[in-house]
Structure 1
Amino acid sequence: GSSPASPPGENRTLPPPLTGALASYGGLALLMTAVAWPGPLRDNLYPVLWQMKFPEVATLNGINTPAGAGQAFRPFVHPGTWIFFTALLSYAIYRRTCLCAPGDLARAARATWRSAYPASVGIISTVGLSTLMEHTGMTQLLAQGLAALMGASFPLVSPLVGILGAFATGSNNNSNVLFAPLQKSIAGLLSIELSLLLAAQTAGGAIGSMIAPAKITVGCSTVGLTGREGDVLRKTLFYGLGIGLLLGGLALLLTR
């Protein structure tokens, strides 16, 4: 039978695992707020950075990328740093309160690695491809070709570029990494508002993520439709392309 209800006036306490989980998330929220809040702490942590210097790169076709500094990594204001510290602190607290076993940290690390490895490989590869395309002039060449082909009507197909990127790479983020430089180049060539093309790009990427084969495979395996990915793709492709064209029409209207 069900457990008897607590007598009126009796204090009810949360289960220890729930209390520990809430403490972990609460601690992370406090740390992130303290680091992000303007003040002495952020002023002292923000200047600490790692930044690589890159030499000039020139191709045989005359495409030059001037020497300069790469993206700055600020470890003490990066969310990942504090998530890592919070995880270690939470584990120490759980061990002292006997909420986890000695081998739980290693098991959690292995599970995290198995989950993060595929995504990390994909992101690193996509960023590398995007950088290669930009530094060798491929992005600019594609932009010139599309600008000449579509002219002022390019916003109509701008979301379709985002859809193509997400369909090929499996995520909106990777699509933006790959094709945002292309959209930027076309915006400059056609004198179109950059923010409009980037909005169309990322909106298309969000739609493309819905019809990406990688996402469909995962979804089908979750609901027991393994082997029917082709049927699902054919149905979602119609909606994805239709929404993409509607977004393109809206983007084209906004340029008028």
Structure 2
Amino acid sequence: MAILAFLPILTTLILMMAFNWPAKYSLLISWIMAALFAFFFWDIDVMALLGSSLFGMISSLDVLVIILGAILLMNTLKASGATAAINHGFLNISPDKRVQACIIGFSFCSFIEAAAGFGTPAALAGPLMVSLGFPPMAAAMIALIFDSTAVSFGAVGTPVTQGLTLLGKTGDAAFTADFSFWTALPHAVMAIFLPLIVLLMTTKFYSKEKSFKPALEAAPFALFTGLSFAIPLLLISLFIGYEFASLLASLISIAVTVVAAKNNFLTPKKVWDFGNPAEWDSSWLATTKIAPIKASRMSLIKAWIPYILVAVILVITRIPQLPIKSFLTSGPFVVKVNDILGFDKLDWSFKWAYLPGTFFILVALITNLIHKMDFKQIKESWVATIKQVSGAAVALLFGLALVEILKFKNAADTSMLDTMANALAKVGDKLYILIAPFIGVLGAFVSGSATVSMTLFSNLQYNAATTLGIPTVFVISMQCVGAAVGNMVCINNAVAASATIGISGREGKLIKTNVIPMIIYSLVTVAVFYIVMALGIRPIE
């Protein structure tokens, strides 16, 4: 029975990995398979299957609104010229490529991930670094590795929101607070060292010296960059909330590192670059020509206004001492559907006015006015957004429908997910902690999304932790961190980054290189939780 229970998820992974099927088709097939297995082997009737599937599909609206808003804002800024203005604002900060990698690759990439998510950072930061004189392969590697630390709280916390939604914990303040902090902790630890690790890889693989020495010379600034993000991330996740932990931490990091670089604080004494492009190894170069980033006449202040508005609105609406949250999560601002198809446990509520995605859409509309966009530009941003969101929408609809079928308990109070969890629990608690983050990595690797990884494995990890007696919030946090780390090596992101940088066809080499920091990150995460548990620290759940 355990093999049958695992088969729908395994089918999703096989279809995406071996046959390169998109997530939307793979999850559809797996949903049908799960429904058939649940009916024939777990004795769950048709109405229960329809009810649980419908509940899963309408539950995806929360995440879909966030995705829609995040991508719409990004496309609006592209169409208005704000993105080009922001990009060119980084050009005159420092001539040192190590400093540029820290600020643009780490801090700016983290900000784009926090604001938009869904593979956009590498596609935006990569071409910018190429325009600054980075070898295309180096730019792709740097952007993909750095698109990890901010991912768990990316797109205003979408992966965490998805995990809470799937576990039915959206209204559990204590669990949410613990989930936020324990997800932030390993990210904060790795954030300190990740800029230096990436510089070490960059100067070893993509310099004439083939040496770690240039990276070590920039170690003080690299560690400073990591700390400028790690400390705010931990404090914000602990005292304010997960939705804007990455957003505010990355903004702080950008401000701090830019000021530091401008004033030569902790920067290397000798400027370093990649040497004469004519002497670069052919494997570093682009396979196709890409268009350079166009200049923009828009001022930097005007270009940054939309992002500043998003940050301000999110902070104001999330401060518990203000009455705004209670106002936006009650009365006409909440849509409720109880007892879907007569099942008393299938109750759904949609707090549309409080969703970060709603604020993104609002700011995008305000940006149309502030940036004086014409009808053609507005249409361009909406058309691009709808095209990008449509695939994700189908994947999430069937992904959540699949998960709800796996969760649904039969008359014997057993679900397919319970069967899987009981099988996984046989590995033992200590070994399970070792593999927990790698399950998250696997989900992101094949699906291209930390959110989809959370969709696939959150309930499985939670149930396994419950069976083993491990604190569930620890395991779910490891799943969430692993899902973020998987972005370094995920196929979709590698393909997207390679296409925008002009190195299509070299995705395999890129993923192979990025396996190194992915393993380091995952093992550090495991070590953090082993230490925490050895110290006897136990969360509420």
Counterpart in 2 of 1:188? 466
1:52 to 2:327 alignment: no
Question: Is the 8 Å Cα contact of residues 440 and 479 (structure 2) preserved in structure 1?
Answer: yes
Which letter maps to 2:373?
Answer: C
* Alpha-carbon distance between aligned partners in 1 of 2:503 and 2:315, rounded to the nearest angstrom: 43
CA RMSD between the two structures: 3.1
**TM-fit CA distance, 1:101:** 2.4
2:357 to 77, 80, 86: 80
What CA distance in whole angstroms lies between the structure 2 residues aligned with 1:16 and 1:158? 46
Give the letter aligned to residue 134 of structure 1: K
Asked if structure 1 preserves the Cα contact closer than 8 Å seen for 2:310 and 2:360, the reply is: yes
Q: Which of residues 439, 464, 478 is equivalent to 1:200?
A: 478
Comparing 125-134 and 30-39, the one that deviates more: 30-39
- After superposition, what is the alpha-carbon deviation per residue over 1:9-62, rounded to whole angstroms, capped at 9, x for unaligned? xxxxxx7776765555555555555544555554443213112224479xxxxx
Tell me the amino acid that sits aligned with residue 119 of structure 1: A
Query: What are the within-5 Å matches in structure 2 for residues 9-158 of structure 1?
Result: 21=303, 24-25=306-307, 28=310, 31-32=313-314, 35-36=317-318, 38-39=321-322, 41-47=324-330, 48-55=333-340, 67-70=345-348, 72-92=349-369, 99-135=372-408, 137-158=415-436
Mapped to 1, the partners of 2:530 and 2:304 lie a distance apart of 47
Residues 160 and 245 in structure 1, CA contact (< 8 A), matched pair in contact too? no
Rounded to whole Å, the distance in 2 between the matches of 1:151 and 1:254 is: 14
Contact 2:441 2:483 (C-alpha < 8 Å) held by counterparts: yes
CA distance in 2, matches of 1:87, 1:242: 38
How far, CA to CA, are the matches of 1:16 and 1:217 in structure 2? 31
- Give the secondary-structure state (helix, strand or coil) at the position aligned to 1:231: helix
Native 8 Å contact 2:436 2:478 kept in 1: yes
> Which residue identity does 1:217 align to in structure 2?
V
Q: Which amino acid aligns with 2:391?
A: P
Distance between the aligned counterparts of 2:305 and 2:489, measured in 1? 38
For residue 210 of structure 1, what is the amino acid of its counterpart?
M
Distance 2:453 2:299 in 1: 39
Cα distance in 1, alignment partners of residues 365 and 515 from structure 2? 44
**In the aligned structure 1, how far is the partner of 2:300 from the partner of 2:350?**
34
TM-score by length of 2: 0.38
Identity %: 22
- Residues 206-217 of structure 1: pairs in structure 2 closer than 5 A: 206-217=484-495
Instruction: Identify the match of residue 179 of structure 1 among 457, 463, 466.
Output: 457
d(CA) in 1 for partners of 2:369, 2:341: 47
1:199 partner amino acid: S
Instruction: Give the Cα–Cα distance (whole angstroms) in 1 for the partners of residues 370 and 522 of structure 2.
Output: 49
Work out whether residues 180 and 198 of structure 1, in 8 Å CA contact, stay in contact via their aligned partners in 2: yes
Q: Which of 504, 508, 515 pairs up with 1:237?
A: 515
Distance change (3 Å), C-alpha of 1:106 and 1:157: same
Structure 1 length-normalised TM: 0.74
What CA distance in whole angstroms lies between the structure 1 residues aligned with 2:510 and 2:377?
39
Write the distance in 2 (CA, Å) between the matches of 1:252 and 1:33. 33
Structure 1: unaligned runs, 5 residues or longer = 1-14, 58-64
- Of 439, 460, 467, the residue aligned with 1:161 is 439
Letter in 1 for 2:464: I
SS in 2 for 1:67: coil
Decide whether aligned partners of structure 1 residues 230 and 16 sit closer, same or farther in structure 2, where only a CA change above 3 A counts: closer
Contact kept? 2:444, 2:483, Cα under 8 Å: yes
Q: Deviations over 1:87-122 (max 9, x none)?
A: 33443566xxxx332333222211221232233333
1:144 to partner: Cα distance? 0.5
1: CA distance between counterparts of 2:525 and 2:357? 34
Tell whether 2:504 aligns with 1:226. yes
Q: 1:206 to 1:40 in 2, by over 3 A?
A: closer
Q: Does the 8 Å CA contact 1:170/1:215 hold for their aligned counterparts?
A: yes
How many residues align? The count is 230
Secondary structure, aligned partner of 2:475? helix
